Amino acid sequence: MKKYELESFLKSFWLFFISITILVGALFYLSYQKELQTLDTNLASKMRICSYTLDCKEFEIDFKPKQNLLPYKLYKSNKKISSYYPIPNSQKNFLELYILKKDYEKTVNSIKNKYIKYYIIITIIIIVLSILFSFYTLYPLKKALILTQEFSKDILHDFNTPLSTIRLNLYMLKQELGENKKITRIENSLTKILNLQENLKIYLKGHKLQKETFFLDEVIKESILNIEKNYPDISYDINLPKLKINTNKNAFKRIIDNLISNASKYNKKDGKVQIFIENSILHVKDNGKGIKNPSKVFERFYKEQERGIGIGLHIVKKLCNELGIKISLKSKINKGSDFYLDLKNLINQ
C-alpha cells in the first residue's frame, strides 16, 4: 500500500472507528447508569418489604435516632448502604436495614465487568467493520488512481517518439546551420521537457536501487554543464574534494539536477549558486528569492511560483528517503535558500 493510499485508509478507519466507538460508548454508559439505578431501586424495595416482616437474611438490622434522617430513603456511606423505617409507637428511633458497602460494591463491580466485557467484544467488531469500511471506501479511489497512472505512463511513453524526432532534426539543423540562438533556445526547451518527463517517470514508477561507486564532483559538474546554458546570467561556484560515494547514480543525479535547477530558476539576476561540502553535508546554496514556507516545499504539488507543477522537490524528498539521505533546508525571503544533504551513509571510505 502506497503512502497516500495508507493515509486515506487510516483517515477512513479512524473516522469510522472513533465515531462508532464514541456512540457505542455513550450507549453503554447510559445503560450502565440505568442498571445501577435499577439496582438501587430493587435494593430499596427489598428493604421496605423486609421492614414489615423482618424476615430477611441479606440485610443487617439496627436502630438509629431519628435526628435528620428521612424514612424510606437509601443512604450510602463509606461502610454501608442503609435505609430507615418508622417504628410503631416510637418517636425517637428508626428501624435501620443495611448491607455492607463491600457487598454492594461486589454487585456493582459484577455489573461493571459485564459491560466492560461486552464493550471489548463490540469494540473488536467495530475494528473489523472499520477495516472493511476503509477498504470499501478506498477501492474506488485506488481504481481511479491506477487508471490515471496507467494513462500518464502511456502518455509519457508516447512522448518518446516525437521527442526523439525533435532531437534528431535539431541535430541535423545544427549540422547544416551551425551555432544558432534559435536552435539553442529550442534545445534548452527540449532539455526542460526531458527533465520534466524524467521527473514524472520517477514520480509514477519509483526508482531501482542498484548501487554503484562514482565521484561526487563529476556528477555535479555534469549537472551544471547541462543546466548553466539555460541560465547564462547565473554563476556557479563548486568547491568539492575528490570524494567517492556509493549509491544509485541515476537517482542521486536526479536529486542534484532538481536542486541545482531550482537554485538557478528561482535565483535573481546575476545570482550565484554555491555547491560545497562540510562534515559530510553537501550544500546547494543560492542567493535568490527564498522560500516563504520551507516546511511545505517537499509536499506534493506545493509551489510558491506560477511556473512548474510542484513535484520537483517532492521527488527529491522521495529519492532521498529511498537512498537514505537526510535532507533539510534553511531559507530567507530575498536572501536565498540553502539545501543540506547528509551523505555520511553514502561516502565510500
- Render pLDDT for 272-292 as a digit per residue (tens, 0 to 9): 999 999 888 999 999 988 888
HSE on the CB side for 303, CA within 13 Å?
11
Which of 170, 204, 173 lies closest to 189 in space, CA to CA?
Answer: 170
State the span(s) of the chain assigned CATH 3.30.565.10. Answer: 208-342
> How far is residue 319 from each of residues 82, 208, 244, 248, 256, measured CA to CA in Å?
73, 10, 19, 10, 11
Burial of 58 from C-beta contacts in 10 A (0-12 / 13-18 / 19+)? exposed
* Alpha carbon 278 to chain centroid, angstroms: 32
> For residues 85 and 97, is the Cβ–Cβ distance under 8 A?
yes
Q: Is the pLDDT of residue 151 over 70?
A: no
Q: Is the pLDDT of residue 228 over 90?
A: no
Q: What are the tens digits of pLDDT across the range 172-194? A: 887 777 777 777 778 777 776 77
Q: What are the tens digits of pLDDT across the range 93-140? A: 999 999 999 999 999 999 999 999 999 999 999 999 999 988 888 888
| 209 membership: H or E segment, kind and range | none
Q: Can you name the CATH fold of 208-342?
A: Heat Shock Protein 90 (3.30.565)
> How far is residue 131 from each of residues 9, 87, 144, measured CA to CA in Å?
8, 64, 20
Which of 17, 113, 95, 106 lies closest to 54 in space, CA to CA?
Answer: 95
Strands (E), 228-291: 235-239, 244-247, 272-278, 281-286
Q: What are the tens digits of pLDDT across the range 159-176? A: 767 777 887 887 788 777
Residue 300's SS3 state is coil
